[in-house]
Chains A and B, each alone.
Chain A
Amino acid sequence: MPLALQAKGVTKTYGGVKALTEVDIDVRAGEVLCLAGANGSGKSTLIKIISGVETADAGHIEMDGVDVGRPSVTDSIDLGIQVIYQDMSLFPNLTVAENIAMSARVKAGRKVVRVQDARATAERVVERLDLQLSLDEKVENISVADRQLVAICRALALDVKVLFMDEPTTALTWREIDSLSRVVEQLKADGVAIVFVSHKTEEVFMMSDRITVLRNGVVAKSGAASEFTPDSLIESLLGYLPSEERQLSALPADATTPALEVHDIGRHELFEGVSFEVGAGEIVGLTGLLGSGRSEIAEAIFGILPIDTGEIRVAGQAKPIGSVQAGIEAGIGYVPEDRLTQGVILEQSIESNLVAASLDKVSRRAGFLDSARMAHASQHAVETLGIKTDNPANPVSSLSGGNQQRVVLGKWMETEPSVLILNGPTVGVDAGSKAVILDILRRTAEQGTGILMISDDVPELVSVCHRVLFVRRGRMDGELEMDAVSPERIRERLDR
């Protein structure tokens, strides 16, 4: 197969930080190259340089063997390069259909546009991918998973020669990933070159023909996928192999009041009759397919969605329903699914984001912020979570995607809640940090916090959860306890 795209000697520094050093990659027509690397290793930066969003300090790009220098955004689109960006880069105020059709419209360059045409373009892509999307809904009103699907559709609305997918599946479950992989097969057959980024090892091996590993902005290893095993891949990108073993935190010796009691809660059209408990010091997994209502239940417990019926108790106290403030005051911490819009303020500093939910802890009596305490608290979070930054005063937007996620986690850890609800705590996080984060959760639980973890990452559920609860179509659907928790059993119940 001919070479479709090559990047040669790409170097990029931000301030003093070297994000990429002399990176070479190449991808052939009709193949899937996986760009692997830990959080902050430079994957997104490389992609943005190739698509013209960022400018490299040195290096150049070749398309079909022709030197195209350092292309601008429009150049790269004209060359047939399309990108599904890690942050999706959608227009929240426009409809799904218009979002999907936007790049095609821009490229077509017509002065007058028609709504029907945008719809037709969108329908075509959505049908080709065999997806369910309400085309007339505004993107700000749809779920994160649907947004990810919209971003995928947008990249495929044009004839594409080289497709970059920067963690396109973080919010998706196997069903959508499955249909994505079918489309990838089809694109390969059409001779499209695909570069794929993902922290999910299974997916990497399912999709890719070749793997290039970035480590601290340098190509560490490159070769056919068959030359790697899941373990050797993780080892070559981290430099060591973290443990994924099932290891449970110690439960309190004597029975205490449960950290969280959910009694028969329901909400119109979303879920009903949901009851469960999370003991103090217990880590409980809540899982189910995409759209099963698992996220909605979590949001309702925290107070984002008001409930119509039922009762919620935190540490034995009835929690007033229906407001986030009430949730925080009752002692609930919530790490949302949609971290980039609900979890952090991108333009603000890492430090102020980290203390944003625990302002009372870093304030002096009159309500003024104590900057020394703020610095101390944020330094603590930066260290325990291993956030990769040279200065906590930098804005969160300067962090890599995975490191932004850790900031959100850190923000809620600092509040020392009675109940911590995490919606996909390690989504988009590399294997090394994942082990670190799970370990932090274990330690947090041992200090008496009840943890409710919404996740569909089976190894992760098995690794930390005392119990796993299942949700199906808005209702509870059984649970697995202690020794019964195993990857096979969980998969079996999910696939039912």
Chain B
Amino acid sequence: MKAYVRRARGRRMRVHELWDRYKGENHETALLLLILALLGVMAIVEPSALTMTFVGDIIRSGIVTLALALGLLLVIISGGMDVSFPAIAIFSGYATITVMNFFGVDGVLWPFLLASIMGLALGSLNALFVARYRMETLIASLGTQVIIRGVLLAFIGSVYISTLPAQLDTIGASSIMRLGNSPVNILVLPVIALAFLVSWMLRKTMFGRSIYAIGGDRESARRVGIRVPSVQVRIYLIAGALAGFAGMVHVVLSRHASPFELVGTELNVIAAVVIGGALDSGGRGSVKGTVYGVLLISLVQNSLVRLGVSSYWHVLVVGVVVLVGVAIQAQASSREARTTRILESMEASA
């Protein structure tokens, strides 16, 4: 007999067994149910709001959050925390536009590449502090965030740029389709592609598995021969590049560049990742969960707008959603009971 085969039992499935089967690695199913429940509430409270336009709006506002969340996800799985990514993002986006205007050049692809490279360079600051000087990740990123913003405002610029270079602006206006009155921008495609790429990397590459290993137990990772500092350096470089790209997506979608934007959105992004199952203790989380987390946050915010709730309330409501999401996660993981059965089945004992 193969050692791992567990005996199948011919009796009715209980609810918790069904749940065990479908809950997903990071309890994504619970999240999906929560999203559906919220939609249900909307359907009752404000049925007229549930249109294709609404869906389009959710996607539109979720796309930058997702792009930012992907890099943060890597950091959180490895057991760290990062608050510098919005600063990196807006620095890269704004500086790229500034460079383009300064030299009077235009383009479509290379500005995104340049922004990503800037992000990577800025991410190397985090990498340096965390891997080389072994600083606490959150503290390191609090420091780099301040430095990056300072440099941006002092040396790059602090003015609002109201129009983008022409070709780039065309991207901001081109959509692949319309959902109701809401156009779906073409930039959705590269962000989705990136999500698939990160997901593949996390599941199928040694680098990805090392991130989970470090998040699970750093010392154990070292003991099996994983080069922890080298993995950390790569995490922060990639997270920086992703943030840089996200910053450019934000600038192009909003069709202007302001150095004061994005900063302040870190809570939403952290919330999305954490609700998606990446608990701050590290070692858990998935792209799928993060996507659901982003959808949930985006849904909540758009619903509040539809319901005409003052924006002052948004932070509060997002906070409550985070608490509920995290509570579900915590509850679900504590319910993961031991699976070994000791008693023979009841029929046998009767």
Contact = CB atoms under 8 A, between A and B. Distances in A.
Contacts of B215: 93
B60 interface: no
B222 A53 contact: yes
B206 interface: yes
B3 interface: yes
B337 to A, nearest CB: 8
B206 A105 contact: yes
A399 interface: no
Interface in A104-145: 105-107, 109-115, 123, 126-127, 130-138, 141-143
Nearest to A472: B342
Nearest to A96: B4
Contact of B212 (A51, A91, A127, A475): A91
B283 interface: yes
Most chain B beta-carbon contacts within 10 A, residue among A93, A98, A112, A292 = A93
B227 A131 contact: no
A74 B227 contact: yes
A451 interface: no
Interface residues of A, number: 53
A137 B341 CA distance: 14
Nearest to B209: A113
Contacts of B219: 89
A93 B342 contact: no
A311 B83 CA distance: 51
A109 B205 CA distance: 11
B212 A94 contact: yes
A73 B342 contact: no
B339 A103 contact: no
B181 interface: no
Interface in B209-246: 209-210, 212-213, 215-217, 219-227
A102 B224 contact: yes
Contact of A92 (B207, B216, B339, B340): B216
B212 A110 contact: no
A494 interface: no
The DSSP consensus for interface residues of chain A is: loop
A495 to B, nearest CB: 19
Nearest to B208: A113
Most buried by A among B2, B338, B339: B338
A473 B336 CA distance: 22
A92 B217 contact: yes
- Contact size range, B: 35 or more
B223 A85 contact: yes
A42 interface: no
A446 interface: no
Given A126-B3, A291-B342, A110 B206 contact: yes
Interface in B241-284: 282-284
A483 interface: no
Contact of A271 (B2, B224, B342): B342
A293 interface: yes
A318 B184 CA distance: 64
Contacts of A123: 2-4
A483 B94 CA distance: 85
Contacts of A103: 224-225
A141 B220 contact: no
B8 to A, nearest CB: 14
A73 B228 CA distance: 12
A227 interface: no
A270 interface: yes
User: In terms of DSSP, what is the predominant structure of the interface of chain B?
Assistant: loop
Contacts of B21: none
A115 B4 CA distance: 16
Given A269-B342, A291-B340, A106 B225 contact: yes
A111 B338 contact: no
Contact of B4 (A130, A134, A143): A134
Given A89-B219, A93-B212, A94-B213, A269 B343 contact: yes
B283 A73 contact: no
Contacts of A112: 204-206
Interface string B328-350: 00000000111111111000010
Contact of A51 (B223, B336, B349): B223
A83 B222 CA distance: 13
A113 B204 contact: yes
B12 interface: no
B107 to A, nearest CB: 32
A24 interface: no
A77 B222 CA distance: 11
Contacts of A474: 342-343
B202 to A, nearest CB: 12
Given A89-B223, A102-B213, A141-B336, A272 B4 contact: no
B213 A91 contact: yes
A350 to B, nearest CB: 20
A244 interface: no
B217 to A, nearest CB: 6
A296 interface: yes
B28 to A, nearest CB: 16
Contacts of A270: 341-343
A156 interface: no
A473 B320 CA distance: 46
Instruction: Output the residue of B206, B207, B224 with the most chain A CB within 10 A.
Output: B224
Given A74-B227, A93-B216, A131 B3 contact: yes
Contacts of B222: 53, 73
Contacts of A296: 342
A90 interface: yes
A85 to B, nearest CB: 7
Nearest to B210: A106
B225 A107 contact: yes
Contact of A132 (B3, B206, B210, B339): B3
Interface in A246-281: 269-272
B102 to A, nearest CB: 39
A90 B223 contact: no
22 contacts: A73-B222, A77-B224, A91-B212, A92-B216, A103-B224, A107-B225, A113-B209, A126-B4, A127-B3, A134-B339, A135-B3, A138-B336, A141-B337, A141-B338, A269-B343, A270-B343, A271-B342, A272-B349, A292-B342, A293-B343, A473-B343, A474-B343
Given A105-B209, A109-B206, 12 more contacts: A89-B220, A92-B216, A103-B224, A110-B206, A123-B3, A131-B3, A133-B3, A133-B4, A135-B4, A269-B341, A272-B343, A291-B340
The 7 closest A-B CB pairs, nearest first, are: A93-B283, A91-B216, A93-B216, A89-B220, A474-B343, A474-B342, A293-B342
